[in-house]
Amino acid sequence: MNGPVQNLQPEGGKSRRVYLLLLDEISNGTYPEGALLPGEQRLAQMYSVSRVTVRRALDALARDGRIEKRTGAGSVVLPARRDTGVTADLTTLIPQLEEMHRRTTARLLSFSYGPAPGPVAQALGLEPGAEVQMAQRVRLLDGGPFSHLTTHVPADLASRYSESDLATTPLFRLLERGGVTVAGARQWVSATLATPEVARSLDISEGSALISLIRVVRDAEGRAIEHLAALYRPDLYRFEMSLARVGAEDARHWSPVIGAEGGA
Amino acid sequence: MNGPVQNLQPEGGKSRRVYLLLLDEISNGTYPEGALLPGEQRLAQMYSVSRVTVRRALDALARDGRIEKRTGAGSVVLPARRDTGVTADLTTLIPQLEEMHRRTTARLLSFSYGPAPGPVAQALGLEPGAEVQMAQRVRLLDGGPFSHLTTHVPADLASRYSESDLATTPLFRLLERGGVTVAGARQWVSATLATPEVARSLDISEGSALISLIRVVRDAEGRAIEHLAALYRPDLYRFEMSLARVGAEDARHWSPVIGAEGGA
DNA sequence: TGTATCTGTTCTACAAATATGACAGATTTC
DNA sequence: GAAATCTGTCATATTTGTAGAACAGATACA
């Protein structure tokens, strides 16, 4: 009943396939910065597609800012702009702006009260349908969106701050200000695809890869007080951490380096 | 010259769009476990596509095991099988198998020596074109693939272990056994799309979202000794970590909980 | 300067995805 | 048991994606 899987998935056609292949070969160094890609004719031959299809893929790469098309010359690989963006230290939850004169702001997309969705209620330990406050925000870096945040807070706690506070302050800090004792958090990092709605708010194409972070924050009594579902653009945001190999010879193990800057 | 961006991206067609939309609404709880989806006719109307297109999306969801199609009745949402898979503690690098009678094995895909690709050479601090050993492996959980690993090691260090060792033992442990002092590591977590080659080896459809982990391991002298590029299936693998809110009232901050099990 | 190579553009032909409608059979509901 | 609703399947028209080829203009190189 579980034979060889047929390809009945909406894959996205050949041009998307070539797009992904080239994107991968650019980022893994097969075509390094400044290098000239093979000609469209040659690429078409390499991937067994028509030149029209190759051109679509190249146009998409050019739109992404990964290559530059030069009439009569060819397509050159542009430097991946890793110099920009935000890096977050996973061990301290503190985001570090690469350059200090940058600024992040937030934009509130939606704000409402209602019954908790199933997965959220389960993660927070609420009975299904319990009243929660839901807020969706987009964080901007110098005006460009880099993360999409969806938070759920039990309704009785949510009354302690205002809607406009959400545009400026992290939620757990608002809760602390309201008298709640934030004791700890548990979080999971994963990956997901951009749905049309998220793609629009993050200014990317739908189906792009996004970093997914789920965080459940608890107070001193162990009660869940916040559920955060965050989506980050991988080109503008990174999670980083340093580890040290410590312990005696027969019991060596890894341990996080807290607040490191140089790292290991 | 940079007006409103036209949609010249290979998006993947309407059926993929509907597929993504439904996948999102299932996982965010709009359609909870056991619920009946709207009829195909109705879905077609909701998303402004034809019934044929909706059927493609539903077929893909059924193939993924997210829904079950029932002739004459409708499509019901299946429980997301979170009970399976591997969870890795990011603070200790120790993967925890959810059930103890499971077993992970590895399969060697390729093994070769050659010049280091640009990004790898840069990350390892080698001169471009320096000789490295490259190995690609797939890790299996009970016979099913869940991660794709690409490692680069400077050629002079790589001679200390055999090709067959790679099928069983983590690389940094092989290096330790060979006399290298593993002192620390620095790693980044991100997200990427599955290229056709990776998709094949992980038994997923190309364009799927994958967790990406880059790790650079260094010895006591600060010399880079290993570059790991790992790709994980998000449905079978997760990164988890617990954080505690510690410190005095005016200097509260987050700190990782090491080796926690219950977490905060 | 001439030649080879490459992109930009256009055209025709074919393949695949999609829209639309229809009908049989299964399932649920009353 | 009858009616309503739903899926499974088929057929056809339309739209979109792709293949293949040709040619003009731009660029690189000897």
Q: Say yes or no to pLDDT of A78 above 50.
A: yes
Could you tell me the two tokens for A158?
């949510």
Q: Say yes or no to pLDDT of A51 above 70.
A: yes
- Per CB-CB distance under 8 Å, the chain A contacts of B130 are none
Question: Lowest-pLDDT range, A20-29, A66-75, B161-170?
Answer: B161-170
- What's the average model confidence in pLDDT over B163-172? 82
A86-240, which class in CATH? alpha beta
Could you tell me the two tokens for A107?
């934009």
A9 confidence band (pLDDT: 50, 70, 90)? low
Which nucleotide does the CA of A13 lie closest to, via C1'? D17
B95 vs A: CB within 8 A: no
- Per CB-CB distance under 8 Å, the chain A contacts of B212 are 191, 234
| Interface contact A207-B242, CB threshold 8 A | no
- What's the average model confidence in pLDDT over B210-220? 94
Give residue limits of the domains in chain A: 13-77, 86-240
CB pairs A-B closer than 8 Å: 239
B98 vs A: CB within 8 A: no
Q: Which residue of A has its CA nearest to B186?
A: A242
With H, G, I as helix, E, B as strand and everything else as coil, classify residue A14: helix
Q: How far is A173 from chain B (nearest CA, A)?
A: 10
Give residue-wise pLDDT tens across range A108-154: 999 999 999 888 998 999 998 899 999 999 999 888 899 999 999 99
B100 confidence band (pLDDT: 50, 70, 90)? low
Q: Say yes or no to pLDDT of A84 above 80.
A: no
Question: Lowest-pLDDT range, A153-157, B94-98, B155-159?
Answer: B94-98
What CATH number does domain A13-77 carry, 1.10.150.130, 3.40.50.1460, 3.90.79.10, 1.10.10.10?
A: 1.10.10.10
In angstroms, the CA of A19 and the C1' of D8 are apart by 35
In angstroms, the CA of A20 and the C1' of D16 are apart by 21
A69 vs B: CB within 8 A: no
| Interface contact A211-B195, CB threshold 8 A | no
| Interface contact A10-B24, CB threshold 8 A | no
The CATH topology of domain B14-77 is Arc Repressor Mutant, subunit A (1.10.10)
- Assess contact for B229 and B150: CB atoms under 8 A: yes
How far is A197 from A217, CA to CA, in rounded Å? Answer: 26
Q: Is the CB of B200 under 7 A from strand D?
A: no
- Per CB-CB distance under 8 Å, the chain B contacts of A30 are 117
Please name the residues in contact with A28: beta carbons below 8 A apart, sequence gap of 6 or more: B117, B119
- What's the average model confidence in pLDDT over B126-145? 91
